[in-house]
Every structure is written in structure tokens, then in C-alpha cells.
């Protein structure tokens, strides 16, 4: 066999189902080897789309999503999606073809040092300089990509190496088992929680990665401690759970922020600092922080850990809950009731353009609890994070570590491939939609029915929100859009335009029933952004 064939066998050995990418001259040998493989190659229309597909696939399944490009511009187009996966701790392995090794020492056509270029945005970056290292490099890339904390890895594959003859076998594929937490640390954490007057839990995406959502819900229920989640951990505790306070991270005095102000002990479970800056929820630096995770805490002036319980998150939560004394009559429940009241306030709104709260209410009504929303980045992300109710983990995916626009459409395609029996909705602004809307053709070709819900305000709404809040005027955020209905039809997809608010819910239901790609153009009233800012700035609740 040649090196490319061995490489593909190694990918099969790792359980790879899909590779998202674009063929090129420098990955010809790999593309040829894939013709005889069980792996399905998904040809995309832009490498950024491929990387986002691998990103979302990895985040949803826990198995590394794989993307492939050729050298030079193909590889640089992967960077945004790879960086997003790495910062959001989604398992991903990116592969790029490269010029022959006889050209790497000099200035040459399309040659960049890809190994070094990807090193700062991955956990591991390697160049295959010999066929006999392929098995080790591939195994290491997948091991690190899928380990806690998971992330992105990169492999550069020179074209002359790919054609070399080699006889070898893939290495045994196995992931390490998380160690149990220290009994001494468990006991100390239980005592600190028992002694607390007003504890609160901050749940991060690490809980979902560890498959510890049930254990966290049981922990909160047994000890009667309220839970707030980061944007990335939506659904980690069902919203119907009486201890659920909703999402933290709006960067304003939301109800959850008041909960942090009241708390004397903050229990951070599976929390990564990149999800929500500690200085925003712990500005005083005087609260006791208990860190429960698979790795020791990152250093931050506002994240001074009083106690760390490091090890398997499931076991940590179970063992602490067994030893700690439950709290009684938690007064923070008033915060939950205030949030629910906010969520219900616009359920019957007929205002047009549609208010964000109404958009979310109707979307939640139309979707089943097991369906998946892939949220892009923009003003709509803030509203979705705050008001879209989730009862299960990984049913509302939000990019928040790197927070890259353009993820929703390709991400929705990957979600449909991973979970073909679920309905998938890409929730996106008009700006983010057009960044990777070319992948509609990919979805149509693959016959992956998804719904794309466009919040249309003909501008960069989140930036305008910030500009108006800081300076009282906006700067260069307006643009024009194409006719999104005709745009959808040009791809062979279905297009819908919302002309009155009463049409939104039936249109959503119809689109979800369509066995194709459906695009809904919905005008949104973002004047609600500044109203929310003002409201939250005035929020005072006596606990």
C-alpha cells in the first residue's frame, strides 16, 4: 500500500464516519484512497464550511470531526473553524495537503509552513515527513483531540510522502479513563458547601463533554442549590428543574448576575474561563470558589480557587452530594420566577417586525425538545442564550469561546448528518447567514433537510447594540440583503418570508415538516436590544 492508503486505514481505525473538505492537487493520493474506504467524503463549497461542519460534528458526538483541504489558501480557509473548535473544546482533526518535501525549504508556489501556522490554534500540530510515522501521528492527533479537555489537532501531509510505499498497521485506538477525585478534596468540598449560606453553581460545557448532566441535576436537586449555565452549557440541567436559573453571560445585571452577587460560595463545575470572563461574575474577588473539573483551574485574578476537586466529574458530583448537607428554603428561587415571567411576556405579541422574545417563543413552540438549534453569532445569540428554553444538553449549540460568525448553516448540515432523525434549525442573523450560505448547495446535494431561520435587520445588530450602549450612535453597521426567498429558490430550496407576526409559528411548523432545505426570512425588531439593556441596568430584586 502507499502512505495515503495507510493514512485512510488509520482514520477508519479511529471510527471516522465523515470527512468534510475540498479535493486539491496536493491531496490527490488521499482522495483516491477514500474511494475504497467506508468513510464518506462530504464535498463542501468552502473550507471554512468544512471546518465548521467538523467542529459541530465533534461537539455533538464527542468523536473528532475531520476536515480536509489542500495546501496554501485551502489550508488558511480552515483556520477560523479550527480555532473555533479548539477554543470551544470541540474534538476536531484537520488535515491539509502540502507541497513535496523537496520544496519546503524555499520560497515556492502556495507553500506556507502549515505546521507552525496551526500550532497556536491547536493542541497538536504535526508534519508527516516519513510514511513510518503515520500511525503514531494519527493516533496521537485523535487521542489529544478527544481527550478532556478536547480540542483541535492538525496534520500536514506532503504530496510526495503520500505516494510512498509502506507496510504498517494502525495503532490500537483507546481513550484513557478519567481518574477518581481525591477523597480528601471531596470531603473538604462537601464541608465548604454545607457551611455556605447562599451557594450557587456555575455549570460549564465540560459537564456536557463529561456526560455528567444527570449527575449535576441530581446534585442540585439533592443539595437544593441553584444552577446557572454558560451559553455553551444550555440544557445541561433541564429548564423545568426547579433549581435552574438560566444562562449566565449577558454581561449585564441580569437576574443570574444578581445571584452571583448574593452568593458566598460559587461551585464551578466543568467551567472553562473562555466561556464567561470571571471578572464579569466575580468582580469583587472575595467569594469562595470550588472548582470541580477534570483538570486544575486556569490562573485568573478573578478566579481564585479556594478548593479544587480534580477528576471524573460524575464521581466528584456524586461523592460530594453524598457527604454535603442539603440547603433549605433557597431564596434565589425568586430569580427563576422573574426570568420565567420575562420569557412569557411576549408569547402573544403581534408587533411587527417580530420582537426577539416572540421569535424565540414561537421557535421553542415549533421544535420538539430533542430537536437541535445551531445558533450563529450576533444579537440573536444573546437572546437565544437568555430565553430559549432547553430541557436536554446539546439541543442549542452556541459558539462562545471563539464566537465566530458563519457557523450556523454548515453546523446545521453536520448536525443533520450526526442525527438524521432530529429536526435541525440554523438560527442566524442575515450577516452570519451570508458568510457561509454557499453551503446550501451542499445541503441540497446531500439531501439533508434543515431549516434556516434568518433574523433580518439589514445590519450588524450586535455591534449596533454595543455602539448605541457606549456612544449613543451607530457607525457603519448597515447593509443591504438579497431577496432571501429567491436566493433559496435558486438553490432548489424552499423560501418563506414573514410579512406579519401571526404567520411565524405556522411557517416554522411547515418548514420543519418540509423534506428539504427551508429558509425563513423574518424581519426582527432589534430596538428591543436597548430596552433590555436599560431594563437589566435597572434590575433590583430583594432576596
Q: Residues spanned by CATH 3.40.50.1220 within the chain?
A: 183-332
Q: Residues spanned by CATH 3.40.50.970 within the chain?
A: 3-162, 345-535
Architecture of the CATH domain 183-332: 3-Layer(aba) Sandwich (3.40)
**What's residue 543's pLDDT?**
46
* DSSP symbol at 27: G
Please check whether residue 454 is in contact with residue 433, taking contact to mean a CB–CB distance below 8 angstroms.
Answer: yes
Burial 173-211 (b: 16+ CB within 10 A, else e): eeeeebeebeeebbebbbebbbebebbbbbbbbbbbbbe
CA torsion sign for 24, 41, 489, 377 is negative
Q: Which of 16, 77, 156 is nearest to 439 (CA)?
A: 77
CA dist 528 and 130 (Å) reads: 58
**Topology annotation, domain 3-162:** Rossmann fold (3.40.50)
Pairing mode of beta strands 18-21, 40-43: parallel
Please check whether residue 385 is in contact with residue 249, taking contact to mean a CB–CB distance below 8 angstroms.
Answer: yes
> How long, in residues, is the chain?
543
**Topology annotation, domain 345-535:** Rossmann fold (3.40.50)
**pLDDT in single tens digits along all 543 residues of the chain:** 999 999 999 999 999 999 999 999 999 999 999 999 999 999 999 999 999 999 999 999 999 999 999 999 999 999 999 999 999 999 999 999 998 888 888 888 888 999 999 999 999 999 999 999 999 999 999 999 999 899 999 999 999 999 999 999 999 988 778 899 999 999 999 999 999 999 999 999 999 999 999 999 999 999 999 999 999 999 999 999 999 999 987 765 677 877 888 899 999 999 999 999 999 999 999 999 999 999 999 999 999 999 999 999 999 999 999 999 999 756 677 888 888 888 898 999 999 999 999 999 999 999 999 999 999 999 999 999 999 999 999 999 999 889 999 999 999 999 999 999 999 999 999 999 999 999 999 999 999 999 999 999 999 988 998 899 889 999 999 999 999 999 999 999 999 999 999 999 999 999 999 999 999 999 999 888 777 766 655 554 444
**What's residue 356's pLDDT?**
94
Amino acid at each position: 500500500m502507499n502512505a495515503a492508503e495507510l493514512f485512510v486505514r488509520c482514520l477508519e481505525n479511529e471510527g471516522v464516519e465523515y470527512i468534510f473538505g475540498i479535493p486539491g492537487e496536493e491531496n490527490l493520493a488521499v482522495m483516491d484512497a477514500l474511494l475504497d474506504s467506508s468513510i464518506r467524503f462530504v464535498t463542501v463549497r468552502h473550507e471554512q464550511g468544512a471546518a465548521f461542519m467538523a467542529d459541530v460534528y465533534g461537539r455533538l458526538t464527542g468523536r473528532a470531526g475531520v476536515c480536509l483541504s489542500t495546501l496554501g489558501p485551502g489550508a488558511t480557509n480552515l483556520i477560523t473553524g479550527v480555532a473555533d473548535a479548539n477554543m470551544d473544546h470541540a474534538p476536531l482533526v484537520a488535515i491539509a495537503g502540502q507541497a513535496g518535501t523537496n520544496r519546503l525549504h524555499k520560497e515556492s508556489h502556495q507553500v506556507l509552513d502549515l505546521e507552525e501556522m496551526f500550532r497556536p490554534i491547536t493542541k497538536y500540530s504535526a508534519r508527516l515527513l516519513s510514511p513510518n510515522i503515520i500511525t503514531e501521528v494519527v493516533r496521537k492527533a485523535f487521542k489529544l483531540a478527544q481527550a478532556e479537555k478536547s480540542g483541535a489537532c492538525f496534520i500536514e501531509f506532503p504530496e510526495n510522502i503520500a505516494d510512498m510505499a509502506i507496510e504498517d498497521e494502525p495503532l490500537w485506538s483507546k481513550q484513557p479513563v478519567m481518574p477518581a477525585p481525591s477523597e480528601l478534596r471531596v470531603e473538604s468540598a462537601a464541608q465548604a458547601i454545607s457551611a455556605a449560606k447562599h451557594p450557587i453553581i456555575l455549570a460549564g460545557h465540560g459537564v456536557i463533554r463529561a456526560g455528567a448532566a444527570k449527575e449535576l441535576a441530581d446534585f442540585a436537586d439533592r443539595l437544593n442549590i441553584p444552577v446557572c449555565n454558560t451559553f455553551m452549557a444550555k440544557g445541561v440541567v433541564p429548564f423545568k428543574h426547579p433549581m435552574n436559573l438560566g444562562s449566565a453571560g449577558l454581561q449585564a445585571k441580569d437576574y443570574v448576575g444578581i445571584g452571583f452577587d448574593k452568593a458566598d460560595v460559587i461551585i464551578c463545575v466543568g467551567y472553562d474561563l473562555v466561556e464567561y470572563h470571571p471578572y464579569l461574575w466575580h468582580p469583587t474577588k472575595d467569594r469562595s470558589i470550588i472548582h470541580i473539573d477534570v483538570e486544575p483551574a486556569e490562573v485568573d485574578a478573578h478566579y481564585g480557587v479556594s478548593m479544587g476537586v480534580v477528576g471524573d466529574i460524575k464521581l466528584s458530583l456524586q461523592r460530594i452530594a453524598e457527604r454535603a448537607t442539603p440547603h433549605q428554603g433557597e431564596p434565589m428561587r425568586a430569580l427563576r420566577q422573574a426570568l420565567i415571567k420575562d420569557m412569557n411576556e411576549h408569547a402573544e405579541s403581534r408587533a411587527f417586525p417580530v420582537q426577539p422574545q416572540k421569535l424565540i417563543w414561537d421557535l421553542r413552540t415549533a421544535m420538539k425538545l430533542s430537536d437541535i438549534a445551531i445558533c450563529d453569532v450576533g444579537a440573536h445569540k444573546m437572546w437565544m442564550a437568555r430565553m430559549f428554553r432547553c430541557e436536554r444538553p446539546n439541543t442549542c449549540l452556541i459558539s462562545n469561546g471563539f464566537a465566530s460568525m458563519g457557523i450556523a448553516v454548515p453546523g446545521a448540515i453536520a448536525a443533520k448528518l450526526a442525527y438524521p432523525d432530529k429536526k435541525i434549525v440554523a438560527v442566524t442573523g442575515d450577516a452570519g447567514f451570508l458568510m457561509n450560505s454557499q453551503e446550501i448547495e451542499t445541503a441540497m446535494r446531500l439531501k439533508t433537510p434543515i431549516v434556516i431561520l434568518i433574523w433580518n435587520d439589514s445590519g450588524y445588530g450586535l455591534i449596533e447594540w454595543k455602539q448605541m450602549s457606549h456612544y449613543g450612535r451607530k457607525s457603519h453597521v448597515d447593509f443591504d440583503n438579497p431577496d432571501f426567498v429567491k436566493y433559496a429558490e435558486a438553490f432548489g430550496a424552499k423560501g418563506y418570508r414573514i410579512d406579519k407576526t401571526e404567520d411565524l409559528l405556522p411557517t416554522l411548523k411547515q418548514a420543519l415538516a418540509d423534506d428539504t432545505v427551508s429558509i425563513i426570512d423574518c424581519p426582527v425588531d432589534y430596538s428591543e436590544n436597548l430596552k433590555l439593556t436599560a431594563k437589566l441596568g435597572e434590575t433590583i430584586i430583594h432576596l
